[in-house]
Amino acid sequence: MIIFVDMDEVIADAYQAHIDIYNQEFNTQITVEECYGKEFWLVVPAAHQQSIKDHTRRDGFFQDLKLIEGSQQVLEELSKKHEVYIASAAMEFPQSLREKSDWLDEFFPFIPWQNRILCGNKHVLKGDVLIDNRSKNLEPFDGRSIMFTSPHNTNVNTFERANSWKDIADKLL
């Protein structure tokens, strides 16, 4: 099987990073539970929304992301049995390319650089499975689309869902 795996909010916790940065900079205590069903920038006052969108343009944002629990172990097992590719729409934030590559080197050294697709539009992916947190990436995919739960997509019910990497292991291992 050829399996494509998104990075942000699937193996790297970008959503929580936005919350943490915002809480620190604006001295607030927003929790992830307050964000269910919404993009994080829609949770904050309108005057602060652009600052959220600018997080991803900061040097170090992608390099400092925390792992999504269980992602390393399950992806390592999957990579022993299948062709696993990391597919990230990194071109949206061109400065992220180096940071994402370095992050993958650190946390997923068993996925070689040849299996890393840092692209623009994911509609070009052709394979068996796509694990992603965004409908816009899952909709055009011709294979099995698995939506990985992230706070913003909790109300989406049009795709097979995985709430954790244990769910992914149960589905694919």
Domain ranges of the chain: 2-13+67-172, 14-57
For tokens 């269980």, what's the residue? 70
pLDDT tens for each residue of 103-152: 999 999 999 999 999 988 899 999 999 999 999 999 999 999 999 999 99
Using CA atoms, how far residue 133 sits from 1, 4, 105, in Å, is 20, 12, 22
pLDDT tens for each residue of 59-84: 999 999 999 999 999 999 999 999 99
The strands making up 160-162's β-sheet, listed across from edge to edge, are 116-118, 83-88, 2-5, 129-132, 144-148, 160-162
Is 169 a residue whose pLDDT tops 90?
yes
Q: Which CATH architecture best describes the domain 2-13+67-172?
A: 3-Layer(aba) Sandwich (3.40)
**Radius of gyration for the chain, computed over Cα atoms and rounded to the nearest angstrom:** 16
Residues annotated as catalytic are 6, 8
Residue type, 127: G
**Model confidence, pTM:** 0.94
> What average pLDDT does range 81-96 have in this prediction?
90
DSSP 150: -
